[in-house]
Amino acid sequence: MTASQDHNTAIDVGRFNGVFFEECTEHLADMERILVALDPENPDGEELNALFRAAHSIKGGAGIFGFTDLTVVTHELESLLDRVRGNEIRLAAAMIDLFLEARDAIAMQLAGHRDGTPVDQAVISDICRRLRDQIEGNTAPLAEFSSPAADPDFCSPSSAGGTGSRRLEIVFTPDNDIFQRGVRLENLFNELAQLGELSVKADLPNTPPFETFDPEVCHARWLFTLDTTADEEEIREIFEFVAEREQLTITTKEEHETAPPAAPASQTGDLSGDTAAEPAASLLGRRAYDRDETATGAFGRRGPEAAESSIRVGVTKVDQLINQVGELVITQSMLAQMAAVLDPVLFENIHRGLLQLERNTRDLQQSVMSIRLVPISIVLSRFPRLVRDLAAKLGKQVELRTVGEATELDKGLIEKISDPLTHLVRNCLDHGLESPEARMAAGKGPVGTITLRASQVGGRIVIDVLDDGAGLNREKILRKAAERGIPASDAMTDDEVWQLIFAPGFSTAETVTDISGRGVGMDVVMRNVQALSGRVQISSEPGAGTRVTISLPLTLAILDGLSVAVGGEKFIIPLNAIIESLQPRPEEIKTINGKNVVHVRGEYLPLLPLHALFNLETSVTKAEEGIVVLVDVEGEKAALLVDSLLDEHQVVIKSLEANYRKVEGTSGATILGDGRVALILDVHALLQMKKGIKQATLM
């Protein structure tokens, strides 16, 4: 086996595919974001350049990794974008729709390689044909570059040959580490061969002795002879992601015969040495896309002065780190509890060390948790396309506004909140917003507005989905509920009526379409949000619109809480829900309409004894004998009766459902410093449970 053959079997380029897929996904997301916001009447030149670079980066990376089918659509898309940004073709709204369809076709091909999903080749061929029609219908000179033998049902990169062909001499002197970066030169050769008739020769001026030869170090430079009609820049684009400009010399044959090109300065001398001078472009085109000279992709070179701005880490590794830090917090809590019985004078150093350990553990925990927090813009960025397409389908004019895109949320929540938000936005478009004619008849502007607003309130994330449409129709909802056998009455409050739309199978649509009418959607929203320990609230005003509010915990892993004792058990109350705690006087305990309340500074708050809620035996059965903890959850207040207050903790949340079963009124459990398990209370769920408590047990 030769050295080159041994190298080809040793290098596994496939292990880098994950990074390629991720960067391709980012480029596709950027393309969609730019296209949706692009004004066809007055396109921004920088946005057109960014679109071209994104398509070019996908094409270049796909060619190097051997995903040649991905270069099919991207080549035609790149060609059309190049003519649009060069003002050779006028941009039109229909062309933006075509670009979006091309983006979807590329995403389908990418999913085929990444997930093994089927790829509809008819769609690919149709997109290629339509892109080609746009080019040929608007640009006369294009005929010079099209191959007469090209298959009309398959789009391929422009082939060379024919009139105007010339012979080029190309000298490519790669870096020594080009093989270690996963570059497959045969893919570069194949791309060059598509431009014309190609011959390749390897030059080995300084090969080390066989006993010191490393097959993963490139010692060769490559000499190409190419008969083509392509220009120099088109050839350089093929090498853009693997070579600096000075590493590639291109001359015509006549020029080469009269003045042989000198090898670049960086290639003189021993080719086995280090030839790195400046940071090379990322193999996946990050430098070409971002214009950041210090940036590098997973396979690019890096100068010693360049700093790492970000790294890609698998979510599993982050989760493992969070779990390990959580266990560290529990261990630190155990040590602190054991040291509490030691004399602080005799064991001063131990107490001082444990105090320092507590501070360091808390700082470490906060740093690790911040790794998992990501901006909610990751979810919100997908809705402009959804609103644009669905509004056109429904014949409505809609403006989408997003507020608070920088609000950070746990990555686990980000992944699961997407579907509920999608259902809500579709409902706003289909049910909430009126047609332009109906809006104008109601005295509104023809363009409706949907607003997605995210904010952090205490330890929770609040997401509002608002529209300025017709609002919910109370009578229609009650009528539909009666038709479907859902318990409802005219005596229900508006809030109770609005909750009916979350019933499985409920829909107010008169006809079933591919958008709505099957009664699937809002029940999914409620179920998915509740699975995330979240809540959904609706407020609506006829003629003014509807607001749906989703409240979620900031993270699913860590919680600041107050531990309380009830009988022989301990509970954790989230600190962000607590207003204050006090011991009420007997005259402050009242009974109103058969319900026990506590009178605090002019407010009558419902009294919820935890021993009654969880059926626990305790000697503290009267409110004046225990402590009441005043809580507030999104404007709803109550007083929890407990035996005593214990301590403040930062606890690691463990799932009860995964390890035991669902316990009403709780959102999970934690392990305390003494090794005991304490339930974490869901205050909102407790407020709902109070209706099922017999008042006789409260006093």
User: What is the DSSP secondary-structure string of 93-131?
Assistant: HHHHHHHHHHHHHHHHHHHHHHH-----HHHHHHHHHHH
Q: What is the pLDDT of residue 3?
A: 42
Instruction: State which H helix or E strand residue 23 sits in.
Output: helix 17-37
One-letter amino acid identity for 64? I
Instruction: State which H helix or E strand residue 167 sits in.
Output: strand 166-172
Q: Residue 428 burial by CB count (10 A; 0-12/13-18/19+): exposed, middle or buried?
A: buried
Q: What is the pLDDT of residue 345?
A: 87
Instruction: State which H helix or E strand residue 590 sits in.
Output: strand 589-592
Instruction: State which H helix or E strand residue 317 sits in.
Output: helix 315-339
Q: What is the 3-state secondary structure (H, E, C) of 134-154?
A: HHHHHCHHHHHHCCCCCCCCC
Least Cα distance to 402 among 422, 423, 383 occurs for 383
Contact status, residue 368 vs residue 322, Cβ threshold 8 Å: yes
Mean pLDDT by 10 residues, the chain (699 residues): 42 63 85 86 85 84 80 86 84 87 89 86 88 71 34 41 69 80 73 82 76 76 85 78 79 55 39 33 33 35 42 75 81 84 88 89 81 83 87 89 86 81 87 89 90 82 90 85 78 82 68 48 77 82 89 74 89 86 87 84 87 86 86 81 85 74 82 79 79 44
Contact status, residue 640 vs residue 608, Cβ threshold 8 Å: yes
164 sits in the region (left: phi over 0; alpha: psi -120 to 50; else beta) called left
As a dihedral over the C-alpha atoms of residue 44, residue 48, residue 53, residue 55, rounded to 10 degrees, the angle is 140
Number of helices (H), then strands (E), belonging to the chain: the values are: 22, 22
Question: Count of alpha carbons within 13 Å of 554, Cβ hemisphere only?
Answer: 17
Q: What is the pLDDT of residue 9?
A: 41
Two tokens, residue 107:
């995403």
Q: What is the pLDDT of residue 465?
A: 92
Mind giving me the DSSP string for 406-454?
A: T-EEEHHHHHHHHHHHHHHHHHIIIIISPPHHHHHHTT--SEEEEEEEE
CA distance 26 to 28: 5
Distance between the two ends of the chain, CA-based, in angstroms? 89
CA distance 189 to 181: 17
Least Cα distance to 77 among 95, 63, 93 occurs for 95
Most distant CA pair in the chain, distance = 109
φ/ψ (deg, to 5) at 104: -65, -35
Q: What is the pLDDT of residue 15?
A: 59
User: Residue 539 contacts by C-beta under 8 Å, 6 or more apart in sequence?
Assistant: 495, 498, 546, 547, 549
Least Cα distance to 559 among 546, 571, 542 occurs for 571
